[in-house]
A and B are shown apart, each in its own frame.
Chain A
C-alpha cells in the first residue's frame, strides 16, 4: 500500500493540539495537587469535626464530635457513613413566664413538686421510681430547668448507585438515639441528567419513625402540671417528598430549585415544656403542659444560585417555608469563598438572615379568666415569632501531608418579634429573652 504523505502543516497543528492538551490539564493538575485531600476514586475520605456550641446566660452548652467517612468508587457508586455524638448540658427555658413571686418546678424527671423519690404507674402497668430534683426560680427571672442533660448518638449511611448513564439512585438511613427518644428514618431518591448533563431532575421520598419516651412518662397534653397526668411512651411518624431541578446556566453559574413537602403525625409536643396560666393581675396561678396539634404539614421552596470563578465563589440562597400551624419562615443566605491557590487555603464568610411568624397556638401565657377549653397552646420560643442573624467565618488550609484543616466560627442572634407586654405584675419583666449563641468547629479531612 502506498502511504500518503502527511501534509506540511502537521507541526503547527501538533503544537496547537499539544498546547490544548497541556493547557487544559495544567489547571486541573494544579487542582489535583492542591486538592489532594479530596482523594481519588477508591479512597476512603474521612472528615472529622469537633464542634463546641454555647448559648448565652448559662443556657445550653454542647460538645459534638462527628465522623464522616466517604468512598467514591469512581463509576457513579459512592458510600458514606457518619457517626455523631452530642453531649448537651445547661439550662433550658421550660416555657413558663417570669413571675413577681418565686416559682418552684420539678425537673422533667419529676412527677410532682416534691424532693422525695416518687413512684408512679404508667398506663402499661410499668412501675417507675424516679427522683424529682426541684429547682426554684427567683422573682423576675426566666424559668429555666438547670438540670438539662442529654446525650445523643446518631448513625447514618447512604449509598449512591448508577441505574443508567444518566440516572442514579440514592438510598439512605439514619438512626438516632437519646435516652428519651429514638428515631429511625429512611430515604430514597432518584436523579436524572439530561440536556447534555446541564439539567438534573431529582425526586426523593423519606419516612421517619420516632418513639418518644420522656423520663417520668409522657405528659397528657394540655393537662395541669401539678397533677402529673402521665402516660407511657408514645410515637410520632413523618413522611416527605422533594422535587428538585438543578440547572447549569453558564460555565460559572449554577442554579438549583427545590420544592418539598412533609407531614408529621402523632405526639408532636415537647414533653418538657409548659405554659403559665396567669390571672389579670399578672400572678401565675398554675401551669399546663403544652398541647400542640397532632399533625403538621410543611411545604417549602428553595432557590440557590452558585457562581464560581477561579479564586472565588458565591452562593446566594433563599427559602420559604409554610405550615398548617401558621408558621411561615423566610431564610436568605449569602456565602462567599476566597481561595488562595499558592498556599492552598481558603476563607469563607457567611451571613444568614431568618424570620418566622408564630404558630397560631403560640402564646407566651394563658389567661386564667378565659373560660374556653384550650385546644392547643405552646410557649416554646421556637414556635414564636422571631428573626435571627448568623454570621460565620471559616478558614481552611491544606497541610503538608495532603490533609485539610478547617476552623469555623459562627455567631447566632435570635430576637423575638411581636412582644406582648404582660398584665399587672408581669409588666416590666422580660418575657422574651431572645438567644445568642456561638459555635466553634474544628475540622480535619484526610484520605485513607
Chain B
C-alpha cells in the first residue's frame, strides 16, 4: 500500500459535485471508471475516503493483473509447473474459485482464460477452427491444478485469471475498509459493480443500468437502498459468421460460446462477490438463465 500511495499521481483522483448534495470521487482501476459517492460530505473527507477506496482497488489490480510482470498472477504463470506457496489472500481467492467451480459443475473456471488465444471477440467473423479450440482444452480445467492451500502447482501452459471475480472482490474489500470508518451513506461503484451501505437522506440510490448495445443510454433505472448490484455481459463482444452470433461467454468444458446467453444480467445480492457470481453463472446457463435465477430466488434484471 505504501507503493500505491507513492505512485499515486495527483490527478488520479477527481472530485465532482453531483445533484442532491453528493460528492463523487472518481478514478480509474481495472480498466474501468470507478467512483465513490458520498452525500453531504466535505471535500477533505471525500478525498480521504476516496483515496482509501482507490488504493484498495489499485492494490487488488496490481496484485492480480495479468498484464503486470510484478503481479502474483504473472509470478504464478512463470512457475512452469513447479510447486508454489501463495499468500493467504490469493489462497482464499483460489479456494473461492474452486468452490464456484464445484458448485457450478465446472461452468465457472478461472483457468478458462487460455481460450482467449483462439477466440478474439472483435466483432469480426474469425470463428476459430474446431481443432484449434480442441488443442487448448487440455489447458482448461480447475481440477487439473494441484491445489492444497497454500500450495499450488499450475501445469505448464495453464493460466489463472481472476478477472471474473477480482473487480467484485475489490468492491467488497473497499466496502469493508470504508464501513469501518464511516457509518454515513456511501456507494462504491467499480465499472458497474456497486455496493452501498445505506440510502442517502432523500430516498434510495438511483442506479442506471446501461443497455449494452446502446452506449451511455440507461436502459433501466434501479433503486437501491443498500447491498450490492452487479452486471455481467457485454454484447459488444461477439463474432458473427454465417448469420450465427457467437457471444463472448465461453463454456470452459467445450471451449465454445454458450448458446443463447443473455446480453446482460444484473443481479442484486448482499455482496458484490455473491451478486457477481450469480450474474456470471446465469450467463453461463444460456437459455436457462432466467430459470436459474428464479431457482436461486435472486432479484435480477435480464436483457436478451
Contacts and interface: CB of A to CB of B under 8 A. Distances in A.
Interface of A: 1, 3-11, 13-15, 17-18, 20-22, 24-26, 28-30, 32-33, 36-37, 39-40, 42-43, 74-75, 165, 401-402, 447
Given A17-B100, A39-B2, A10 B85 contact: no
A22 B273 contact: yes
Contacts of A24: 88, 92
A402 B5 CA distance: 9
29 contacts: A3-B107, A3-B251, A3-B286, A7-B105, A11-B274, A11-B297, A11-B298, A13-B103, A14-B100, A14-B274, A14-B278, A15-B269, A17-B96, A18-B277, A22-B176, A25-B89, A28-B88, A29-B89, A29-B173, A29-B177, A32-B1, A32-B59, A33-B1, A40-B1, A43-B2, A165-B83, A165-B84, A401-B5, A447-B2
Contact of A28 (B70, B89, B285): B89
B281 interface: yes
B69 to A, nearest CB: 11
B190 to A, nearest CB: 15
Interface in B1-43: 1-3, 5
A201 B277 CA distance: 43
A36 B271 CA distance: 26
Interface residues of B, number: 51
A251 B1 CA distance: 27
B241 interface: no
Interface stretch (B208-216, B231-239, B288-296): B288-296
Contacts of A402: 1-2, 5
B273 A36 contact: no
Interface of B: 1-3, 5, 56, 59, 70, 75, 82-85, 88-89, 92-93, 95-96, 99-100, 103-105, 107, 169, 172-173, 176-177, 180, 251, 253-254, 258, 269-271, 273-274, 277-278, 281, 285-286, 288, 291-292, 295-298
Contact of A5 (B258, B270, B292): B292
Contact of A18 (B254, B271, B286): B271
Contacts of B104: 6, 10
B96 A21 contact: yes
B173 A20 contact: no
A86 to B, nearest CB: 30
Contact of B75 (A17, A28, A33, A75): A75
Candidate in A13, A24, A29, A402 with the most chain B CB atoms within 10 angstroms: A29
B285 A5 contact: yes
A6 B289 CA distance: 10
A13 B75 contact: no
B172 A22 contact: yes
Contact of A10 (B95, B96, B103, B288): B103
Nearest to A5: B288
Nearest to A446: B2
B2 A36 contact: yes
A37 B296 CA distance: 44
Contacts of A401: 5
Contact of B281 (A6, A25, A33, A74): A6
